[in-house]
Structures are given as C-alpha cells and as structure tokens.
Chains A and B, each alone.
Chain A
C-alpha cells in the first residue's frame, strides 16, 4: 500500500472525486451538475478498486453511472429550460456553510484522532460468491424487503409520473404558450413546435 503506483491511483482518484463534487457546488447549469456527479461516481468506483472491492466497484458503475444518472437526465429533460437553474440559494447558503464546516471539522477530528486499530489483512477474494451467499443465508429478510421496496418504488414512480392524454395535451399547450411569450397559443404549434430561435441559446 505504499508504492508509487498506489499513491498515484489514490491521489488522482481522490482529486477527481472531490473536484467533481466541488464543480457540482459551483456549476449553475443542472445538466453540467449531473455530468460532474457522474465524474465523482467514477472516481468513487476507482477508489473502491484501490480498496480491492471489485464487485462493489463494478456494481457502482453499473447502477450509478449506467442507470441513476440516465434517470436524472431523463427527469431533467421533462422540465423546461427555465427550471434548470442550479444556483445556490443565498439566504440559506451562509448558515448552511457554517454548519457544514463545523460538521467537517468534527468528523475529520474523529477520523484522524481515533485509534481505529486497523489491521491490514488480505482483502476478500471471492466477493461475488460470498456476498451472494450471505444475502441468501444470513440477510434473507432484508433481501426480500429490499425486493419489495424496489417493486414499490417502481410502481410508485410510474403511478406518480403518468398522465392521461388530455392532461398531456394541455400541458404541452401551456409549454408552447410560455415559449411564445405573450401567452397566446397557435394550435399548429402544439402539434409541430417551432425550433428554438437564435435568442434562446442552450443553457
């Protein structure tokens, strides 16, 4: 754990992760924020690999980068451009920053100062098989509850997000009314929306 290769890997991945997270704080475009989140998650997957947790690393990439990010981007796509502002709320940022700094100091003090009694044993070798076995043998109840939870989330998300055709048409028409600015709606525009004009650049 002390050779140059490991140091290179750890510090560059840590920089990638913290850098991505900081850019989420700073960026004002929501889609950029999601891209930086993807970068952070890839950095965390790399850190899992440095910890020899290969199964968790691959699962992290598969689920977070492959599915959750796409889900977030789809949801952002369904809201119009005016609502994609990711800037901070000034009134709450200052006290939030204070609280966060205090929490950071406290947790880092505890992390550095405690004698964890860390041993550097060899990492687990057959992680997928061991995790699978313990899920079925020891943790079967949380496993089943997790399955029910995921099914409930699936059904719930679909039930929440669906809309009938009429509501969708009205919704689309009101979107068109916003775009035209003066509130009037040309019925042709509802079926065949105009392209964004030059003034409305990509946010």
Chain B
C-alpha cells in the first residue's frame, strides 16, 4: 500500500491537487479571518464546479476529434482533415456552427417543457463527475453511498429524455423517446446488478473504497468478475445510446429520435452531454473494473490521474471500436438481450459473489491463496455460462423477419375496422353517467 501520509507531507500547498482538501482548507482559513464560514463552503463548491467544467470542456473538444478520426480509420477513410492541421479544428468549427444556428421551437410544442430538457440534461452529466476518484483523495465528493448516487443520477436522465421527446409534439420524437426510455430503464437492471456484485465483494459502497479494496488485495475486478464487467460495458453503451444500441437516435432509423426538434445550441447541449457521459462512463468502467487510479504500485512514480486517464482512454477506444464494428440491433432484439441474457448473467454473479464473500469472511480463507482460485473459477464459470447460453437459449433462426407486434398491425386494419363499425351499430357498453 502506498504511503498516503508521505504523499501529502511532501507538498501541502494549495496547488498540490493530489489532495483536493488542501485548497479547501486554505480557503477556509483565509476566509475565517474576515468572513462567515458558509462563504468558504460556497466558494469551494463553485470552484469545484468550475474545475469540473474546466476539465470536461476542452476534453469534449478533443474527444469529438478523436471519435471521428478513429471511426473513420475503422471505416478505412480519412475522417475530417480539412479544417486545421489534420482536422484538429473540426470540433471548434462544429461548436461555432451550433452556436450560430437559429434555435427553432415547433409552434405546437409545450413551451416550458420544451425549454427545460437541454438545461436539465446537463445536471446529471456534471453531477456524476463529482464522485469520480482521480486519486486517493482526489474526488470532489467522496460519498459513502457513491455507487448508489451514480445510479440515481443516471436515472434522472431518463425523465429528461422523456420530457424532450414528448414536448416536441412530433410523432417520431415521441417514438424515439419511448424507445430510449424503455431501453434505459431496462438496461439499468444489469448495471445495478453488476455493481451490486462489486459492492458485495468489496464490502463498501463508496467508489474510492472499491478502488482501495482492489489496491489492498492486488487484484482488479475484471479478473474476478469478467461476465459482470462485459455486461456492465454493454449495458452502459446501451444507456449511452451508442451503436449497437442506438436504435432510438440513429439517423437512418428515426431521424434523430428525441432531439429531432432541437436545433442550434440546444442540440449542442444534448450532443455535449452525450459525449461527456461517454467519457465519464469509460472512466467509471476503468475505476470499477480496471483498478482506477491504481496500477500495482505504478502510482508512486506516475501521477494517479494520468493512470486513470490512460485507462479511460483505453475503455473509450473500446467503445469506439464496438461502435465502428458492430451492426445496429433492433429494439426488440435489444430488450430481449437485456432481459434474457444480461440479467440472468449478472444475477448469477451476484449469487457467486455472495458465496465467495462468505467463504472469504466467515470461513476466513486467506485472500492471497483464495482470490486466484476464485478468479479462475469465475472465468471458467463465465465461459461456461456463455457457451451454455449459446447452445441452449439461442433465439431460433428466423426464416422471415420477426413481426413487431403493434396495435392494429393486421393487414389494412380491415378486421378491426369492421369490428368498430359493428360496435357502433350495436353498442354494448354504456358509459356510466351521472
């Protein structure tokens, strides 16, 4: 274990951001001379928010460029290379275009509820960054219930998507919003169960606690729970509405889904938050399953936040890779995959985690011996479960495309029309009246 006390005694100065408490302590002391205490809390809060925005803002610009270039390479083309050297100014051009565009609102849209979603979608997007630990003491807020906070805040984005789709007064926007909401709430279940596995095994709900558990036991969770990690990865990419799960906002499917009617900077906010969410989800996958800011003692020479950034970049590249390679799934295939494959897989590993944790704690097995055995067992179990699923529960190959069951999907609606006409002739029910 690294000597944490030694770290902070080297530099306790305000610019030593390896411990974010330094700055807060300094501000509190400085204000204590001449002002009330609550001013210090407000100033540190505002500085924390500005810090987060200052980190996300430029990163998003770079990310847009990275994503477009990498996807282009996967598709064997160049990507943007006109604007600036190697296309590096392309994100700037995109941002300027979005700012200068006119922001239209449909005439029949619900004014207040149309205005709110671009503003409200920003709130979860920024709040999540608060619980991400960049180092042993480098998270903006190290909550006791960090994992639960993460899940709760991502759940509020669902409501905002629904508001965006409904207020547009546009049939396709509503379809896209319904698909996105149904997928989001469905894929929350495997996410919660995968994180529950980690929480049960490490005994703590604070995100920094999970990283420190991995540091203590010298193991990263992807070795212990591979199927949970893969399930979380896929569920997170479905929550982010990325291919292969972008049925709700792909241009060839449904115009632009729930943000069809938003133009100009309103769409820019949706786009920015989506990109920011992708980055923060990559950071969280790196934190939970790959060890976060810790890398077997490397964090004594290399700053911990650089390690985290490197791992985040690797996971982000993996997300871009799946986006550029896999075809898009239909919404019924996605829901079936979630409920019939991911939920049983993650549930199985919750049970396995409970059993193994009991063996470690109550029976008192020695972790240096027991953990590798459990890792090997879990990997074998994952492979076995996937192969069993492929053999037994594979969806039957369809000879024609599966009919999506919609109300009124009989041919021409003739039978239904005749039924309605018949009912009009001979009314059977009376509506209860006064």
* A binding-site residues for B, Cβ under 8 Å: 3-5, 8, 31-32, 35, 38, 54-55, 58-59, 61-62, 65-67, 69-70, 73-74, 77, 125-128, 165-166, 168-174, 177, 183, 185-191, 195-196, 198, 201-202
Contact with A along B309-349 (1 / 0, CB 8 A): 00000000000000000000000000000000000000000
Structural contact, A55 and B156, CB atoms closer than 8 A: no
Task: Indicate if B158 sits at the interface (CB-CB under 8 A).
Answer: yes
Contact with A along B150-163 (1 / 0, CB 8 A): 01110110110011
Task: Indicate if B51 sits at the interface (CB-CB under 8 A).
Answer: no
Structural contact, B413 and A173, CB atoms closer than 8 A: yes
> In the assembled complex, how far is the CB of residue B423 from the closest CB belonging to chain A, in whole angstroms?
7
Structural contact, A70 and B408, CB atoms closer than 8 A: no
> In the assembled complex, how far is the CB of residue A82 from the closest CB belonging to chain B, in whole angstroms?
13
Closest to A73 in B: B162
Provide the residues of chain A in CB contact with B55, threshold 8 Å: none
Give Cα A188–Cα B411 distance, bound, in whole angstroms.
9
> In the assembled complex, how far is the CB of residue B350 from the closest CB belonging to chain A, in whole angstroms?
14
Provide the residues of chain A in CB contact with B151, threshold 8 Å: 62
Structural contact, A168 and B408, CB atoms closer than 8 A: yes
Structural contact, B408 and A191, CB atoms closer than 8 A: yes
Task: Indicate if B416 sits at the interface (CB-CB under 8 A).
Answer: yes
Structural contact, B407 and A172, CB atoms closer than 8 A: yes
Known: A169-B413, A177-B424. 16 other contacts (CB 8 A): A4-B36, A4-B38, A31-B166, A54-B144, A58-B149, A59-B148, A65-B156, A70-B158, A73-B162, A165-B405, A165-B409, A169-B416, A173-B413, A177-B420, A185-B417, A196-B169
Give Cα A195–Cα B38 distance, bound, in whole angstroms.
55
Contact with A along B15-46 (1 / 0, CB 8 A): 00000000000000000000011100110000
> In the assembled complex, how far is the CB of residue B130 from the closest CB belonging to chain A, in whole angstroms?
13
> In the assembled complex, how far is the CB of residue B178 from the closest CB belonging to chain A, in whole angstroms?
7
Structural contact, B416 and A170, CB atoms closer than 8 A: yes
Provide the residues of chain A in CB contact with B3, threshold 8 Å: none
- Which of B155, B408, B424 is A183 in contact with, Cβ under 8 Å? B424
- Selected interface stretch from B105-113, B214-222, B296-304: B105-113
Give Cα A38–Cα B145 distance, bound, in whole angstroms.
22
Q: Known interface pairs A58-B152, A65-B159, A67-B155. Does A187 touch B412 (Cβ–Cβ under 8 Å)?
A: yes
* Chain A to chain B: the 8 pairs with minimum beta-carbon distance, closest first: A66-B155, A190-B413, A172-B408, A173-B416, A168-B407, A5-B38, A62-B152, A172-B407
> In the assembled complex, how far is the CB of residue A117 from the closest CB belonging to chain B, in whole angstroms?
29
Closest to B143 in A: A54
Task: Indicate if B5 sits at the interface (CB-CB under 8 A).
Answer: no
Provide the residues of chain B in CB contact with A35, threshold 8 Å: 113, 163
Q: Known interface pairs A31-B166, A169-B410, A188-B412. Does A174 touch B420 (Cβ–Cβ under 8 Å)?
A: yes
Structural contact, B423 and A174, CB atoms closer than 8 A: yes
Task: Indicate if B398 sits at the interface (CB-CB under 8 A).
Answer: no
Closest to A3 in B: B38
Q: Is the interface of B mostly helix, strand, loop or mixed?
A: helix
Give Cα A126–Cα B413 distance, bound, in whole angstroms.
60
| Interface pairs (12), CB distance under 8 Å | A3-B36, A3-B37, A31-B110, A70-B162, A73-B159, A77-B166, A128-B145, A169-B416, A172-B416, A173-B413, A185-B421, A187-B413
Closest to B106 in A: A202
- Which of B37, B144, B156, B412 is A191 in contact with, Cβ under 8 Å? B412
Task: Indicate if B205 sits at the interface (CB-CB under 8 A).
Answer: yes
Give Cα A183–Cα B110 distance, bound, in whole angstroms.
29
Give Cα A144–Cα B4 distance, bound, in whole angstroms.
44
Structural contact, A61 and B156, CB atoms closer than 8 A: yes
- Which of B145, B167, B185, B414 is A58 in contact with, Cβ under 8 Å? B145
Structural contact, B108 and A201, CB atoms closer than 8 A: yes
Provide the residues of chain B in CB contact with A187, threshold 8 Å: 412-414, 416-417
Contact with A along B41-62 (1 / 0, CB 8 A): 1100000000000000000000
Provide the residues of chain A in CB contact with B421, threshold 8 Å: 185
> In the assembled complex, how far is the CB of residue B283 from the closest CB belonging to chain A, in whole angstroms?
20
Give Cα A188–Cα B413 distance, bound, in whole angstroms.
7
Give Cα A32–Cα B166 distance, bound, in whole angstroms.
11
Closest to B153 in A: A61
Q: Known interface pairs A35-B163, A62-B151, A67-B185. Does A169 touch B113 (Cβ–Cβ under 8 Å)?
A: no
- Which of B113, B166, B416, B423 is A190 in contact with, Cβ under 8 Å? B416
> In the assembled complex, how far is the CB of residue A142 from the closest CB belonging to chain B, in whole angstroms?
21
Provide the residues of chain A in CB contact with B156, threshold 8 Å: 61, 65-66
Structural contact, A202 and B110, CB atoms closer than 8 A: yes
Provide the residues of chain A in CB contact with B405, threshold 8 Å: 165
Give Cα A55–Cα B38 distance, bound, in whole angstroms.
25
Provide the residues of chain B in CB contact with A185, threshold 8 Å: 413, 416-417, 420-421
> In the assembled complex, how far is the CB of residue A190 from the closest CB belonging to chain B, in whole angstroms?
3
Q: Known interface pairs A62-B152, A173-B419. Does A128 touch B171 (Cβ–Cβ under 8 Å)?
A: no
Provide the residues of chain B in CB contact with A168, threshold 8 Å: 407-408
Task: Indicate if B73 sits at the interface (CB-CB under 8 A).
Answer: no
Give Cα A174–Cα B428 distance, bound, in whole angstroms.
14
> In the assembled complex, how far is the CB of residue B67 from the closest CB belonging to chain A, in whole angstroms?
28
Structural contact, A202 and B169, CB atoms closer than 8 A: yes
Provide the residues of chain B in CB contact with A170, threshold 8 Å: 416, 419-420, 423
Task: Indicate if B280 sits at the interface (CB-CB under 8 A).
Answer: no
Provide the residues of chain A in CB contact with B169, threshold 8 Å: 196, 201-202
Structural contact, A55 and B420, CB atoms closer than 8 A: no
Structural contact, B413 and A66, CB atoms closer than 8 A: no
Provide the residues of chain B in CB contact with A127, threshold 8 Å: 144-145
Structural contact, B36 and A62, CB atoms closer than 8 A: no
Structural contact, B108 and A202, CB atoms closer than 8 A: yes
Task: Indicate if B138 sits at the interface (CB-CB under 8 A).
Answer: no
